């Protein structure tokens, strides 16, 4: 729930703000106010134009952050630092009181409010949200400006003298330099997703902007986390700021279930595919660690036939807009994204959040997993880890105060039957327009006269399904079994000399040859024995399209790599390395 930094022990910010003297004096009043729990927006004191607009949007009662800060923003002038995660309703929390103030200033035509946000997507989203709230305010004007788009149209739009400007820092600075925007009379400055703005390297731009706007204004800073840089901004540019922390809505959400799958590093992508295939109705975000990984995974998924695409900072703005649009209207089922690109973007009803790789700062996990399980819907937050990453799971468990369940990757057969059943469900759900199809029926019957009902069904299903059958025909068990010993018989189909997978004393060697070069197990065994590796020293062999993995006894693995890496094999350069 809601807590005050001022009453929270050991909060790093407290010392500084408490030292200003006014912070502590404020508490009794705040407590008093807080006891009058507002159940409706009317009680918060918003005007009827705004109430009408937001009730049309389906806002029935304020969210905790709105309930907590709207009354203050309406009745006081102090600065506020608000720590709250994505999805807590911050836009309305700062937007509605800002609009209310503009109305109090008789909708005077000068720029009264400035909102800074890290990305173009967020600028547009905030602008759209504020437009919705202000639908019934006569002659209200808001303009958004951001990089990656032509500056001339933005200069032209600013000539209308909007009440509110929503901007990314870099572009705004540019516009200030060109004297295209007059911020001399703003009464409210909002820094949205401040930590992300600093992460993105906007520190200097922010400093420059904050230096250039009038002193007599209130500053509202919103952030999901409170790193030192954010504190610094707050200390430098805010006065007697009051700190509001809204409870960890995301991690606390009981609607999210957390799972991890443990696989060998080399199987990470295969595991992702298997998870995605096992949930035919999936609509989710796949988080990667870097832009590059994001691009690679998205490309691989697209190549493998999925409705997926990437969202990261290297894309042009137009591409990002396109991707978001397709994802929001569900033409894309999977959005592969970096943390920064996905921050603040409002997409509802995600069924899954998949951590393809955990973030370097595990604290980020809560922001990721909080993207699902919204609005009383349940969601799954899934993490793929290798054997060395178990400690990260433990650390996250401490942060979110929940435990992860270790899930088992489904077998190829399980995936296939799930897909098949889903396909049948989809067919069942199809609406048949009798009248419209009637004229074609005789033609159809003629074409199919020699096929039985059963054959037709099989053909129809195979059309989509063959891709799964092909892929999963010889699907391996990707799960890492933690018990060292497997039951006898489980490996009956493996050659007698095969050491257990991942068994101590064996290492995976990767070779840059695969089925593309018509490589078979036999070739690999021959290659290894010719290098002097005894048959007992050769374990499992997995052959992919353009690479293969061989389990080799540890004492021989290094030698094998030395002997094979950067050599020639059948007229082609051969690369090899020890993996895992």
- Unique residue bearing structure tokens 């880890």: 385
Q: For the segment 341-380, give every residue that binds Mg ion (CB under 5 A).
A: 344
Q: Are 202 and 118 within 8 A, CB to CB?
A: yes
Beta strands in 26-125 (DSSP E): 80-83, 113-116
Q: Are 505 and 557 within 8 A, CB to CB?
A: no
Closer residue to ligand ADP in complex, CB, 97/344: 344
What is the smallest separation between the CB atom of 91 and ligand ADP, expressed in angstroms? 3
Cα(144)–Cα(137) distance, rounded to whole angstroms? 18
Cα(570)–Cα(117) distance, rounded to whole angstroms? 56
CA 55 to chain centre: 29
Helix, strand, or coil here: 52?
helix
What is the smallest separation between the CB atom of 63 and ligand ADP, expressed in angstroms? 5
Candidate ranges 86-94, 263-271, 386-394, 484-492; the one touching Mg ion (CB under 5 A): 86-94
Q: Which of 23, 88, 98, 419 binds ligand ADP (CB under 6 A)?
A: 88
Assess 92 for contact with ligand ADP (CB under 6 A): yes
Q: Which does 63 bind (CB under 5 to 8 A by kind): Mg ion, ligand ADP, none?
A: ligand ADP
Q: Which two tokens stand for residue 109?
A: 């035509």
What is the smallest separation between the CB atom of 88 and Mg ion, expressed in angstroms? 8
Candidate ranges 81-89, 159-167, 402-410, 454-462; the one touching ligand ADP (CB under 6 A): 81-89
Q: Which does 576 bind (CB under 5 to 8 A by kind): ligand ADP, Mg ion, none?
A: none
Q: Which two tokens stand for residue 17?
A: 């703000």
Closer residue to ligand ADP in complex, CB, 125/553: 125
Candidate ranges 89-97, 110-118, 447-455, 521-529; the one touching ligand ADP (CB under 6 A): 89-97
Q: Are 351 and 282 within 8 A, CB to CB?
A: yes
- Unique residue bearing structure tokens 């933005």: 154
Assess 346 for contact with ligand ADP (CB under 6 A): yes
DSSP letter for 348, please.
Answer: -
Q: How big is the CA angle at 565 (ends 559 and 566), to the nearest 5 degrees?
A: 145
What is the smallest separation between the CB atom of 178 and Mg ion, expressed in angstroms? 28
Residues in the chain, overall count? 580
Q: Which does 346 bind (CB under 5 to 8 A by kind): Mg ion, ligand ADP, none?
A: ligand ADP
Q: Which does 62 bind (CB under 5 to 8 A by kind): Mg ion, ligand ADP, none?
A: ligand ADP
- The phi, psi pair for 576, rounded to 5°, reads -145, 155
Q: Per-residue x/- mask for Mg ion, residues 288 to 327, rule CB under 5 A? A: ----------------------------------------
Assess 87 for contact with ligand ADP (CB under 6 A): yes
| DSSP structure string for 493-529 | TS-TTPPPTT-TTEEEEEES--GGGT--HHHHHHHHH
What is the smallest separation between the CB atom of 240 and Mg ion, expressed in angstroms? 25
| DSSP structure string for 66-101 | HHHHHHHHHH----EEEE--TTS-HHHHHHHHHHHH
Q: Which does 127 bind (CB under 5 to 8 A by kind): ligand ADP, Mg ion, none?
A: none
- Residue 577, CB-side half-sphere exposure with 13 Å CA sphere: 6
Start-to-end CA distance of the chain, whole Å, equals 43
Assess 90 for contact with Mg ion (CB under 5 A): yes
Closer residue to ligand ADP in complex, CB, 92/158: 92
What is the smallest separation between the CB atom of 308 and ligand ADP, expressed in angstroms? 24
- Unique residue bearing structure tokens 């069924």: 351
Q: Which of 6, 71, 344, 537 binds ligand ADP (CB under 6 A)?
A: 344
Assess 62 for contact with ligand ADP (CB under 6 A): yes
Closer residue to ligand ADP in complex, CB, 59/549: 59
Closer residue to ligand ADP in complex, CB, 193/267: 193
Assess 59 for contact with ligand ADP (CB under 6 A): yes
Nearest CA to 220 out of 186, 201, 184, 192 is that of 192
Assess 89 for contact with ligand ADP (CB under 6 A): yes
Q: How big is the CA angle at 165 (ends 163 and 170), to the nearest 5 degrees?
A: 160
Q: Per-residue x/- mask for ligand ADP, residues 475 to 514, rule CB under 6 A? A: ----------------------------------------
Q: Which of 5, 6, 71, 86 binds ligand ADP (CB under 6 A)?
A: 86
Kind of pairing between the strands at 506-511 and 548-553: antiparallel
Q: How big is the CA angle at 478 (ends 481 and 487), to the nearest 5 degrees?
A: 40
Q: Which does 150 bind (CB under 5 to 8 A by kind): ligand ADP, Mg ion, none?
A: none
Candidate ranges 88-96, 379-387, 509-517, 561-569; the one touching Mg ion (CB under 5 A): 88-96
Q: Are 465 and 513 within 8 A, CB to CB?
A: no
Q: Region of 297 please: left (phi>0), alpha (psi -120 to 50) or beta.
A: alpha
Closer residue to ligand ADP in complex, CB, 346/464: 346
Q: Is 148 exposed, middle or buried (0-12, 13-18, 19+ CB in 10 A)?
A: middle
Assess 128 for contact with ligand ADP (CB under 6 A): no
Closer residue to Mg ion in complex, CB, 105/124: 124
Closer residue to Mg ion in complex, CB, 166/550: 166
What is the smallest separation between the CB atom of 172 and Mg ion, expressed in angstroms? 18
Alpha-carbon Rg for the chain, nearest whole angstrom, is 29
**How many chain residues bind ligand ADP (CB under 6 A)?**
15
Assess 90 for contact with ligand ADP (CB under 6 A): yes
Cα(97)–Cα(188) distance, rounded to whole angstroms? 10
Candidate ranges 54-62, 169-177, 317-325, 417-425; the one touching ligand ADP (CB under 6 A): 54-62
Nearest CA to 17 out of 77, 69, 74, 79 is that of 79
Closer residue to Mg ion in complex, CB, 224/238: 224
Cα(527)–Cα(400) distance, rounded to whole angstroms? 50
Give me the residues that bind ligand ADP (CB under 6 A), please: 58-59, 62-63, 66, 84, 86-92, 344, 346
Give me the residues that bind Mg ion (CB under 5 A), please: 90, 344
């Amino acid at each position: 729930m809601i807590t005050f930094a001022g009453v929270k022990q050991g909060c790093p910010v407290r010392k500084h703000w408490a030292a200003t003297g006014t912070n502590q004096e404020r508490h009794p009043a705040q407590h008093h106010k807080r006891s009058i729990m507002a159940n409706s927006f009317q009680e918060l004191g918003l005007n009827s134009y705004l109430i009408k607009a937001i009730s049309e949007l389906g806002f029935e009662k304020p969210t905790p952050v709105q309930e907590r800060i709207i009354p203050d923003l309406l009745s006081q002038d102090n600065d506020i630092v608000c720590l709250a995660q994505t999805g807590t309703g911050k836009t309305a929390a700062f937007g509605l009181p800002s609009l209310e103030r503009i109305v109090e200033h008789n909708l005077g035509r000068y720029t009264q409010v400035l909102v800074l946000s890290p990305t173009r997507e967020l600028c547009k989203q905030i602008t759209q949200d504020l437009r919705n709230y202000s639908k019934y305010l006569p002659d209200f004007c808001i303009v958004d400006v951001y990089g990656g788009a032509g500056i001339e149209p933005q200069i032209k739009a600013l000539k209308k003298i909007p009440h509110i400007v929503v901007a990314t820092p870099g572009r705004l600075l540019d516009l200030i330099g060109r004297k295209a925007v007059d911020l001399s009379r703003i009464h409210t400055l909002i820094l949205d997703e401040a930590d992300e703005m600093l992460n993105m390297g906007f520190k200097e731009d922010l400093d420059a902007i904050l230096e250039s706007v009038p002193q007599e204004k209130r500053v509202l800073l919103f952030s999901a986390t409170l790193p030192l840089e954010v504190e610094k901004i707050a200390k430098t540019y805010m006065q007697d700021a009051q700190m509001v922390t809204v409870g960890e809505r995301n991690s606390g959400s009981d609607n999210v279930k957390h799972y991890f799958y443990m696989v060998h590093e080399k199987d990470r992508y295969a595991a992702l595919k298997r998870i995605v295939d096992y949930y035919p109705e999936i609509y989710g975000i796949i988080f990667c660690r870097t832009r590059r990984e994001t691009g690679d995974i998205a490309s691989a998924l697209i190549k493998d036939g999925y409705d997926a695409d990437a969202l990261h900072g290297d894309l042009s703005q137009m591409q990002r807009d396109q991707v978001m649009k397709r994802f929001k209207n569900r033409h894309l089922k999977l959005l592969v994204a970096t943390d920064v690109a996905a921050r603040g973007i409002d997409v509802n009803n995600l069924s899954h959040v998949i951590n393809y790789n955990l973030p370097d700062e595990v604290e980020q996990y809560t922001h990721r997993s909080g993207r699902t399980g919204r609005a009383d819907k349940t969601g799954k937050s899934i993490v793929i880890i290798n054997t060395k990453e178990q400690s990260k799971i433990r650390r996250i468990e401490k942060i979110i105060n929940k435990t992860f369940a270790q899930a088992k990757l489904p077998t190829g057969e399980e995936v296939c039957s799930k897909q098949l059943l889903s396909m049948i469900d989809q067919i069942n759900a199809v609406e048949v327009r009798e009248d419209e199809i009637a004229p074609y029926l005789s033609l159809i019957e003629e074409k199919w006269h020699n096929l039985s009902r059963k054959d037709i069904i099989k053909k129809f299903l195979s059309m989509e399904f063959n891709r799964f059958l092909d892929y999963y025909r010889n699907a391996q068990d990707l799960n890492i079994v933690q018990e060292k010993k497997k039951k006898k018989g489980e490996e009956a189909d493996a050659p007698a000399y095969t050491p257990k997978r991942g068994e101590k004393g064996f290492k995976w060697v990767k070779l840059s040859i695969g089925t593309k070069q018509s490589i078979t197990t036999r070739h690999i065994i021959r290659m290894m024995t010719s290098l002097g590796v005894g048959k007992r020293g050769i374990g499992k062999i997995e052959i992919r399209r353009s690479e293969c993995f061989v389990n080799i006894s540890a004492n021989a693995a290094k030698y094998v790599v030395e002997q094979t890496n950067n050599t020639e094999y059948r007229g082609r350069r051969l690369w090899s390395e020890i993996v895992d």
